[in-house]
Chains A and B, each alone.
Chain A
Amino acid sequence: MATSEKAPVLVVLQLSGGNDYLNTVIPYNDPLYRDYRPVVGLPEDQVLPLDDDIALHPSMGPISAMYDQGKVAIIHGVGYPNSVRSHFRSMDIWHTCEPEKTGTEGWLGLATRELDPRKDNIVTAVSFGPSMFRALAVPGVPVACVDDLDTYGLLTGIAPEQKRAKILERFAQNYAPLLGTDTVMQYLGQTGLEAMAGADILKVAPQQYASTVKYPDTSIAKKLRGIAQVHLASLGSRIFYCDHIGFDTHANQTGVHATLWNDVSNAIDAFFADLKEHEAADNVLMFLFTEFGRRVRDNGSGTDHGAGGGAFALGDMVKGGQYSEYPSRKAEDLTQGDLAPTLDFRGLYATILEDWLGVDAKPIVKGMFEKPRFL
């Protein structure tokens, strides 16, 4: 089952809702920042400086510490041309690499297919969330979709086990491919069989797991702990995906944004501590992104949907530092009041795909884009 234990593993943490980049990676000595953000601007004496120009949000202490150890790459100004300010659409673009039309294939679903073309391992990609992310969705590519690892299983209510086994056998027969059925029916059949197989494999992960690391009691920490459990079980999983929601800070941003980053930073801290304790951190790359940044000028309480955002790559193998150019804040350089992206996200994906997962990026991101060299 397990492939090489040290095959590179990608953990994606999606910040849903549009994280405010200007208040996450802060140009804290730029007077324009103060001008634009009379209400949500963060005081100079509270931010966590990385250098003379850039500081992190005060709630990002653990990430700042990792940065100091050279394990965090910050990629500035990530976006795409003609930014869309709809959550749904913009997230779809990030998930499918299709800014011009509606894409149906997720970039990491395609990567999963490249990593495991013969579907030898049904848990090559594992999604932690109540619903599956479009980034992973490609027809015919199995993705295990877990919310609670502890109770994961099919028809677990049937006792005794002998009877359950018999029913599951019927189940498998009923879900076998049928000629002449439509695509949804086929999709249901495939999904059912994968659910059954995936559950059998994944159920060992929590049983094998032991750790001294205590995770915070937050939803994102619970997801990352589940990812750690599956990773540590050496099941050959290569791509993990989860999200944290609530970054749509139109109003009352200051407190809300601080809580969000506090939860995310501490969960990440516990996750890497857990992996380190098990000597399983060195082949893990964590990638954080969001669907767009937010408007440069605050609206008196929060910030509206914007364009250029930013991304983070974390892990032992990352060449720490800052990549790409922080977008100009000068009024004449803004597009519709938003930061103009300085790096196409598809170039960032290409770095991850080619220099980490070892798959050809071109057919997945549909073209050639400038790659930030953080690996």
Chain B
Amino acid sequence: MAREDIALMAHLMRRAGFGASREELEARAARGYEATVEELLNPEAEPVDRYEFLRYHPGFWKPITSPGMGSAAWFHTMLNTKRPLEEKMVLFWHQVFATGQSKIDHWHELITQVDMFRDKGMGNYRDLLVELAKNPAMIYWLDNCDNHAHAVNENWGRELLELFSMGVGNYTETDVREASRAFTGWTIAATPPRGYYNRWDWEFEYLEEDHDESEKTFLGHTGNFNGEDIIDIVVQQPACHRFIARHLYNFFVAEEAQVPAWQTTPPRDPEAIDTLAKAFVDSQYDMRSVLRVLFLSDFFKNARFARIKSPAEVVIGILRLAGGDEFPAPGIGNRAKQPTYMGQELLNPPSVEGWHTGAEWINSGTLMKRINFAASVLSDLSRPGIRAIVNRLRSQGDLSPEGLVDGCLDLLGPLEVQPQVRQQLVEHASEGGALHWGTEQEVSTSRARVGEMLQLIASVREFQYC
């Protein structure tokens, strides 16, 4: 297997998924890059059996929505899915359509929203927006249930334009008002009051008598618009095409400026944005088609290690590599909070704007959390993925200090580090001399030294990139 094929496949799997074991990379590379992209776009593997999680954590299920277990359920899916791109798109839409437990206070509704992203996230964007507008968690999050024919609430109308489709500067305050009016009557059906432990499911309801039936003028179009008409107008806007293209680029390819700066800062790679926007229009807003263009492009293939991993990518990536957490054992609630400690509380973004990404993930506190977590998991020799790394190194026979360093870097990526950093690692390895696998004592020492080397590599700067 050519090293370059493995490196490219590892890049694809880090971005289009959460990384992959060396065995999986080899198998996929043997099938080929394009075939793998196609498989990721149209996965045939069975979805994760959520009843497994439910069996051990019944508190997650409605109507008893225990605090914290909602994100644990999703965490369990991300850890176990064999349909990684589908799940990565769930994460993508959760970042763009950021909805949070801080206000929803109903985990099950957030899980329902996440399920909707899984179901529709690689399909048609226009249909996805319509589903989003009808999603009860979103309706409650942005107060469309308080958006009435005679008392307009602009929250959803504004964020639909500002954060979900076009970005600031591409519409007027009047457009916000008119869009909001078009969505009057899009609400949640009344439920019995919730008790301490029971919350009733929310259902979308269209209340015709609460819909503003008068004429609206939105982005230059005039008519008696309802919500779907607004979405139909929005998806035709070039600003929308570029907005989605730029989000995809930022999430899958390389760091863009933060979203609020998009109005004033040109894209990092304008040609790439043009390419993606064109694919978006040509396919009539089909996400799968845009993703195919993205993953097969040279700008994607050449963007290796051009992004800082998000906390979810850090935690899920490391746990999938190391293995051992597939079963939803007690304690999964706490493990699912690891991204929170690194500044990304899943299902509870800081605001409807989602998270600031890229270098803004990093500060002295979060960097410390990232390093501490990676070091503790990667040095845990009881984990199957770490044992597999040890066994692969062992199969190479006795290892020089350079061999140990290069072998560990290879199996953690292949990870590319600065020559000076490699030199530091080699110096550290040299203090213990070569690795031998002869006697039981030697095997035990060598295993521990591999763990220590993985730990040290987990702490270098390059490890924060993907």
Contacts and interface: CB of A to CB of B under 8 A. Distances in A.
27 contacts: A88-B259, A88-B260, A88-B351, A101-B264, A102-B260, A102-B261, A132-B365, A137-B360, A145-B364, A145-B365, A155-B455, A170-B428, A170-B456, A171-B456, A174-B424, A175-B461, A178-B418, A192-B461, A195-B365, A199-B368, A246-B102, A248-B351, A250-B155, A300-B146, A300-B148, A301-B143, A304-B154
For the complex of A and B, the 9 pairs showing the least CB-CB separation, nearest first, are: A145-B365, A195-B364, A132-B363, A102-B261, A88-B353, A131-B343, A250-B143, A145-B363, A188-B461
A39 B169 CA distance: 33
Interface stretch (B60-68, B76-84, B369-377, B396-404): B369-377
B340 interface: yes
A146 B155 contact: no
Contacts of A174: 421, 424, 459-461
A85 interface: yes
A167 B261 contact: no
Interface string A191-207: 11011001100000000
A174 B142 CA distance: 46
Interface residues of B, number: 61
A171 to B, nearest CB: 5
Contact of A86 (B168, B308, B420): B168
A160 to B, nearest CB: 13
A116 B376 CA distance: 35
A97 to B, nearest CB: 15
Contact of A178 (B364, B375, B420): B420
Contacts of B255: 184
A193 B420 CA distance: 17
B364 A130 contact: no
Nearest to A170: B428
A347 interface: no
Interface in A146-197: 146-147, 152-158, 167, 170-171, 173-175, 178, 181, 184-185, 187-189, 191-192, 194-195
Contacts of B420: 178
A155 B352 CA distance: 34
Contact of A147 (B103, B257, B341, B356): B341
A131 B353 CA distance: 15
A293 to B, nearest CB: 16
Contacts of A17: 351
Interface string B133-160: 0000000001101101001111100100
Interface in A88-134: 88-89, 92, 101-102, 127, 130-132
B359 interface: yes
Given A147-B341, A170-B428, A199-B368, 15 more contacts: A86-B162, A87-B352, A102-B265, A130-B340, A137-B360, A143-B363, A152-B365, A153-B368, A155-B371, A155-B375, A158-B375, A195-B365, A251-B146, A302-B146, A305-B158
Given A88-B260, A245-B102, A195 B368 contact: yes
Contacts of B162: 86
A171 B459 contact: yes
Interface residues of A, number: 59
A134 to B, nearest CB: 8
B418 A304 contact: no
Contacts of A142: 364
B368 A157 contact: no
- Chain B interface SS verdict (over half): helix
Contacts of A199: 368
B464 to A, nearest CB: 6
Which of A89, A102, A131, A173 has its CB near the most chain B CB atoms (within 10 A)?
Answer: A131
B308 A184 contact: yes
Contacts of A248: 103, 351
A87 B260 CA distance: 10
Given A131-B350, A198-B364, A188 B264 contact: no
A264 interface: no
Contacts of A178: 418, 420-421
A218 to B, nearest CB: 14
Nearest to A303: B153
Nearest to B100: A245
Contact of A187 (B143, B155, B340, B359): B359
B116 interface: no
A299 interface: yes
A29 interface: no
B298 interface: no
B132 interface: no
B460 A157 contact: no
B456 A188 contact: no
A167 B102 contact: no
Given A155-B372, A302-B146, A144 B343 contact: no
A3 interface: no
B153 A304 contact: yes
A46 interface: no
Contacts of A175: 461
B365 A147 contact: yes
A92 B263 CA distance: 14
Interface in B181-231: none
A121 to B, nearest CB: 14
Contacts of B350: 16, 131, 245
The interface centre, meaning the residue of B155, B173, B461, B464 with most chain A CB atoms within 10 A of its CB, is: B461
A336 interface: yes
Contacts of B237: none
A92 B259 CA distance: 12
A156 B372 contact: yes
B261 to A, nearest CB: 4
Contacts of B360: 131, 137
A87 B168 CA distance: 12
A361 B217 CA distance: 45
Contacts of A89: 168, 260
A87 B356 CA distance: 13
Given A145-B365, A174-B424, A250-B155, A188 B464 contact: yes
A20 B145 CA distance: 21
A189 B148 CA distance: 52
B362 A188 contact: yes
Interface in A36-87: 85-87
B168 A131 contact: no
Contacts of B146: 250-251, 299-302
B106 to A, nearest CB: 14
Nearest to A195: B364
A354 B5 CA distance: 60
A11 B261 CA distance: 29
B367 interface: yes
A152 B366 CA distance: 11
Nearest to A144: B364
B367 A195 contact: yes
Contacts of A152: 365, 368
B313 interface: no
B420 to A, nearest CB: 6
A127 B265 CA distance: 28
